[in-house]
Every structure is written in C-alpha cells, then in structure tokens.
Amino acid sequence: MEKQHYTRDDMAGLLRGHGINPTHQRIEIAYALFSRQEHLSADQIMAIVNDRHSETSKATVYNTLNLFKLHKLVREVIVDPSKVFYDPNTGPHHHFYNLQSGELIDIDARDVQIQGLPALPTGMVTEGVDVIIRIRPQHT
C-alpha cells in the first residue's frame, strides 16, 4: 500500500533522499505524479502543473522526468506508440491497458508467476519483465 496523502514537503524530502535538489518545479512535477498515483504522460503532467499559472516549461518537464527516471523515482510504461506514460509506482508490477480509454491499471507482480520462459541469451541479464494485458470492452 502506498501512502495516501502526500504533501509538497513530502516531495521535497523524497527528492533530498535521492540527492536531488528540490526546486519548485521538481516538487510540483513529483507532486503531480505521487499525489495522484496515476499513469501520466509528459503532456498531462505539464497541463496539471501549469493549471493555475505557468510553473514550468516543456524542457523542464522532460529534464525532470528523465532525472527522476535515472534515480528510479518513476518508471516509464511503454504501451502506446505515440507517448510514454510515467508511473510513480516503481515496485514490481504489471498492467492492464484499456485500449479504448487509454487507462492503465496496476497488477501487483507478487501475485503473478510466469513459467516456462527460455534461458536468457548468454551474457545477458534481466533488466525488467513487463506484462501488458491489452483489454477492451466486450462485443464492440
């Protein structure tokens, strides 16, 4: 279970804990992701952060998301060919992907076992296992 109510101060602490200088922009971007616990695109994050008044530029949104990714504070989810989703849940988990609405739903990986995978090519190690279950409304 994730904490339910994050404050901007929590975000500052989180960033400091990763050796990241908690600037106003970084805090707002982290807050957008962690306070909602949703899968958001860079564009959506920028819209949320700049909702009331302009807080950050596009360049900073991308810089910051790439910085967070580097520190494994967020994870990328690649399911839509046209945009990346950023995921504040960095624990091992998989996804349902609603092809109609674009919505992503988390599946805890502890409940899931995958059997019968072939051995890795020699000299290779696993960086991550993604299971994506593409779903759509019945019938059509």
Q: How many CA atoms lie within 13 A of 23 on its CB side?
A: 9
Pick the stretch among 6-14, 17-25, 28-36, 77-85 that binds a copy of itself (CB under 8 A). 77-85
Q: Which of the listed partners (DNA, Zn ion, a copy of itself, none) does 123 bind, with a CB threshold of 5 to 8 Å by partner kind?
A: a copy of itself
Nearer to DNA, 61 or 94 (CB): 61
Nearer to DNA, 62 or 136 (CB): 62
Q: Which of the listed partners (Zn ion, a copy of itself, DNA, none) does 87 bind, with a CB threshold of 5 to 8 Å by partner kind?
A: Zn ion
CA distance 77 to 57: 23
The answer for residues whose C-beta is within 8 angstroms of residue 84's C-beta and 6 or more apart is: 41, 42, 76, 77, 78
Q: Kindly state the DSSP code that residue 118 receives in the 8-state scheme.
A: P
Q: Does 114 bind a copy of itself (CB under 8 A)?
A: yes
Least separation, in Å, of the C-beta of 15 and DNA? 9
Tell me the CA distances in angstroms from 12 to 85, 87, 137, 138, one per residue in order: 23, 18, 41, 44
Q: Candidates 66, 92, 99, 102: give the one binding a copy of itself (CB under 8 A).
A: 99
Q: Does 96 bind a copy of itself (CB under 8 A)?
A: yes
Number of residues interacting with DNA: please give it, by CB under 7 A. 24
H helices of 4-102, in order, are: 8-17, 24-36, 42-49, 58-70
